[in-house]
Structure 1
């Protein structure tokens, strides 16, 4: 989720230990061109909503979420071992990671899974695109160190107007209903808002920990998996059957959507910068809509794509639609901005 919070700050490479030797060392370039990896990331996150829908056809929402977390943690854990990186230390860091795991992984992943029991994967994908709008709303509520500009406020209004268009809100005035399950829609929107809250929390609490992106992210997923491992047995019964289709969907959701996608995102931010990398946000609902209609036979009315375009336009306006608060601005001590760029953690980007 991703959802999106803006991508901020590509990871900076440290100074070489031997400057004289580093100038002669060959530059290692990724085997795949960044455009191909960018397209792959868009497809992975766009198809994630379809995979959630398929997964919930065979397993309970909490089981789908737990499964994707287990597979995603396994991917990052394996890469962590190959690179011989260590997990972060310090009880305080692990405490903040526990909160981040809940806000950025366990909660939104579960809410999206429950939402897709009653709403289409298309609608869920569009709701996911509202995360920048929630981030701007948090800025207005003085929960951010960024002050919204007029452009950002305009984007907020336009974006939420797009949500009303997607839902067909005018139908409720004629007694026809909005055409979508209200509970499922609210769950998907709350999931998107959770990404925004979690990202703000990460920026303020985990920016100066000194751990690598990979180590911090693997730790966060591990904690989220532990949270779900405790909760899931309390609210679900052990599956009596393991249908292959939904099981493969959950595995793909975890391995690709939660594990591989993070590695692709991290590499893109490092190579092409956060500005171009964040463009993935605007392709996710388009791909989610195309996948839902073409492969799941979901019904598409005119207001859904039109509203989605309005939502994306509003989200685009909110990007950069905030300015840093001045030094004299009054903030709560616990909400003062960190000086370093925040770490990229799974769920803090535009993923579902």
Structure 2
């Protein structure tokens, strides 16, 4: 990965780390599936307005409609729904640990479905170091919840698998601007979620949602979805699906740092140790650290 790709990855991790704040507020008031619909619909509208302002004709990319639908299903509809539902029964720590296995599944799926992203010792070692760092970062208290509902844990694992397959599918959009890919996927996800929500939750009761919750929903849709996926697809196009999936190792770090900066939370010794392990894992995956050590 280039320095610019790493910068994009860390920025994406910071943005997605903020999504935990928004989702934590909104899911207490809005049903999970309805929240998914709000998230993708707001993102789709914002992205269409952005393309219109830039003079980009989205309709000229209509030949990718089926791929947009597949990406919207695998990247948004399935994982967002499973993760939000899982949050109702799992602690945030356990969910973050399980979600951080995304790079492992991506490495495995990429090894079978691609010719340019094969399993390497560096990748496996780095990912395992990263997950160890996340377990340390979250602390031993999170481990007490590992005996929680099996169905909730399986939902999170299924979401990570969906992300893995979506990352591979995203590689097929080379030549399509990241903004167009993001717009297509969000539009498709919105069209898929509308009948699901109407059947399962009924017509959303928007009048009962207060301003603070709407602010969280807008943050989730505009910043943590619309802007985030433009960055994500840019990374996929330049660095590959496996490297893009490394963002799940960075997200917990950014979430904790945001809590420290904006909510006055304090960092403990295990937080610094966990961040160090994650940094070591990322350097191992990058390969430059091992190469430098071999030269000595």
Q: What is the deviation of 1:189?
A: 3.3
Aligned to 2:82: 111
Decide whether aligned partners of structure 1 residues 76 and 289 sit closer, same or farther in structure 2, where only a CA change above 3 A counts: same
Q: Which runs of 5+ in 2 are unaligned?
A: 289-296
Aligned to 1:230: 195
Distance between the aligned counterparts of 1:262 and 1:286, measured in 2? 19
Do structure 1's residue 138 and structure 2's residue 109 form an aligned pair?
yes
Q: What is the deviation of 1:237?
A: 2.8
Do structure 1's residue 189 and structure 2's residue 188 form an aligned pair?
no
- Calculate the TM-score normalised by the size of structure 1: 0.63
Aligned to 1:334: none
SS in 2 for 1:147: coil
Contact 1:75–1:255 at 8 Å: present in 2 too? yes
Contact 2:97–2:135 at 8 Å: present in 1 too? no
Q: What is the deviation of 1:280?
A: 6.3
Larger Rg: 1
Do structure 1's residue 246 and structure 2's residue 217 form an aligned pair?
no
1:202-281 counterparts in 2 under 5 A? 202-203=170-171, 205-207=172-174, 210-240=175-205, 241-263=208-230
Decide whether aligned partners of structure 1 residues 132 and 291 sit closer, same or farther in structure 2, where only a CA change above 3 A counts: same
Decide whether aligned partners of structure 1 residues 201 and 40 sit closer, same or farther in structure 2, where only a CA change above 3 A counts: closer
Decide whether aligned partners of structure 1 residues 290 and 160 sit closer, same or farther in structure 2, where only a CA change above 3 A counts: closer
SS in 1 for 2:25: helix
- Calculate the TM-score normalised by the size of structure 2: 0.73
| Number of residue pairs matched by the alignment | 280
Q: What is the deviation of 1:151?
A: 2.2
SS in 1 for 2:118: strand
1:1-352 counterparts in 2 under 5 A? 41-87=12-58, 89=60, 93-140=64-111, 142-145=112-115, 146-159=117-130, 178=146, 182-203=150-171, 205-207=172-174, 210-240=175-205, 241-263=208-230, 283-291=250-258, 310=277, 313-314=280-281, 317-319=284-286
Q: What is the deviation of 1:143?
A: 2.8
Q: What is the deviation of 1:62?
A: 0.6
Decide whether aligned partners of structure 1 residues 139 and 170 sit closer, same or farther in structure 2, where only a CA change above 3 A counts: same
Q: What is the deviation of 1:101?
A: 1.0
Distance between the aligned counterparts of 1:98 and 1:111, measured in 2? 18
Q: Which runs of 5+ in 1 are unaligned?
A: 1-5, 11-34, 322-352
Please give the root-mean-square deviation of Cα atoms over the aligned residues, in Å. 4.3
